[in-house]
Amino acid sequence: MNWTNEEKLSLMRVLGDIIHADGRVADNEMDYITQLSFKIGFTPEHVPEAMKRNVDICLGVLNNMSNEKKVALNIMMMEMIEADGDRDQNEVDIWYAVVKRLGIDKLYKR
């Protein structure tokens, strides 16, 4: 799957918000985000740029993605929540807000 630069930055912003939602960053979360970064062609030096981005603008970028990419984003967010072995409610709340905002929940309904 090919991601545009804007999509990569926006995706990393959302995943960064999930990572930081519980107030700590676990080694497993860093491992997951590093592996994911390599998979989508995102370099570590872009992380500060991604985290400075306005989250509403990022959500707008993500909302304009294909349904296939939205499903992939959903999987990434769920895996990020589970990466540290602790499903924190703040992480789940961010995931849920993104899923609702992007209409991802409707992609799974028949």
- In CATH terms, 5-107 corresponds, of 3.30.465.10, 2.40.50.140, 1.10.3680.10, 3.10.20.810, to 1.10.3680.10
Contact indicator for 52, 82 with CB cutoff of 8 Å: no
| Separation between Cα atoms, residue 17 and residue 99, nearest integer Å | 14
What per-residue confidence (pLDDT) applies to 44?
78
Tell me what pLDDT residue 14 has.
96
Whole-model pTM: value is 0.90
What CA–CA distance (Å, rounded) separates 84 from 71?
A: 22
How much is the pLDDT for 10? 96
| Spans of all domains in the chain | 5-107
pLDDT at residue 76 in the model: 94
The 3-state DSSP class for residue 48 equals: helix
CA angle centred on 34, ends 9 and 29, rounded to 5°: 100
For residue 85, what pLDDT is reported?
86
Instruction: Supply the pLDDT for residue 82.
Output: 92
pLDDT for the residue numbered 13: 95
Task: Give the per-residue pLDDT at 43.
Answer: 85
Determine the Cα–Cα distance for residues 95 and 97; give it in Å rounded to an integer.
6
Token pair 């929540």 is at which residue?
81
Q: Which residues of the chain have pLDDT under 70?
A: 109-110
